[in-house]
Amino acid sequence: MSTNPAVSRGCACSCALQPCLCTLAPAAQLGLGYPRPLCPPARAWRSFGELILHSKAPGTVLASVIGGEEAEPHSRPYLVSVQHRGTHACGGALLHPRWVLTAAHCLPTGTAALWKVVVGLHSLAKGQPPAQTFGIRMVCPHPGYRCDTMENDLLLLQVGQKVPLSRTQRLVGLRQQEPAAGASCSVAGWGVSRAGRPSPRLQQLQVVVMDARMCNNSRFWDGGIASTMICFQVGYKDSCMQGDSGGPLVCGRRAAVAGVISFTGQDATDPFKPPVATSVVKHRKWIRRTLRSSCPGHIGHTDQPIPLT
């Protein structure tokens, strides 16, 4: 990882309302002390959940809805909405009837009752069938997550009860191999619209995986990208994915998760800071171990579990 100040990065939460630093959250907030990702007031990057925009001209930021298209209803039945107080906060992927994969910087704080996982969702409008809401029982961040460099930005959420599988609520698998440079993949979510609110209906966007060495050269991230990260390009058209941190980067003819959306450049008008996802291929052992150790009927504990009370 580069120590170049020009590409130094902070933490991956939204700090629009307050300047902050990466620190240890008070036990009263999380139930126990855990490094909570908080952002410094000035940094060279943003979490993907904050902003991915492409500009028509220098200084012109266009915040259209993801820049792709509305997804066919329930064509991505594995995609979930992680919500705080009923508001969409992050995306996620249903890997198991009890487990959702998302980004570590989406770490819920406060009481479990304030955080929910919504599955089977196409529209964020209230009461849209056949969406179902589940409480969160346990939060398991990757033990190697670093909020200063965004390495290992993965989080597994255990829901309070099994998600019943159906046409609109299905599991998704993990890729066994890293997608090659030039591979076509896709991302989807309820990105922020021009009105500054989540897009009411699920949007999707085709992306292309970028060569890792090219992404790490001085023109782009200048050595700031770890081997466990995947850079991708959103194309040269207006695109916005604010609010979609934690959503899966899906590749292949048979949809499988290759990465989890993590961050992009601080300057939304800078085309030289491609968005970045955390590779799940490089973390398959941790994911499998966590799922096995806490699945119903098995004895054991997850890596550094954080029960929410």
Residue 221 reports pLDDT greater than 80: yes
Q: What is the mean pLDDT of residues 137-148?
A: 88
Report the candidate in 124, 99, 147 with the shortest Cα–Cα distance to residue 257. Answer: 99
Whole-number percent of the chain with pLDDT over 70: 63
The token pair that represents 248 in the structure block: 């899966």
Q: What per-residue confidence (pLDDT) applies to 96? A: 95
Which residues carry out catalysis?
Answer: 105, 153, 245
pLDDT exceeds 90 at position 235: no
pLDDT value of residue 238: 45
Q: Is the pLDDT of residue 143 over 50?
A: yes
Burial of residue 157 (CB within 10 Å: 0-12, 13-18, 19+) is buried
pLDDT at 276: 92
What pLDDT is stored for residue 138 in this prediction? Answer: 85
pLDDT digits (tens, 9 = 90+) for 85-141: 888 889 999 999 999 999 999 876 566 678 899 999 999 887 677 799 999 988 888
Q: What is the pLDDT of residues 160-205, one digit of tens each?
A: 999 999 999 999 999 999 999 999 999 998 865 545 566 788 988 8
Rg of the chain over all Cα atoms, to the nearest angstrom: 18
Residue 211: is its pLDDT beyond 70? Answer: yes
Instruction: Give pLDDT, residue 15.
Output: 27
Please name which of 168, 113, 109 lies closest in space to residue 135, comparing C-alpha atoms: 113
Flag whether pLDDT at 260 surpasses 80.
yes
For strands 173-174 and 256-265, give the pairing: parallel
Dihedral class, residue 67 (left if φ above 0, else alpha if ψ from -120 to 50, else beta): left
Between 297 and 229, residue with greater pLDDT: 229
pLDDT number for residue 111: 67
Percent over 90 (pLDDT), the chain: 42
Q: How sure is the predictor about 279, in pLDDT bands with cuts at 50, 70 and 90?
A: very high
Residue 35, pLDDT > 50, answer: no
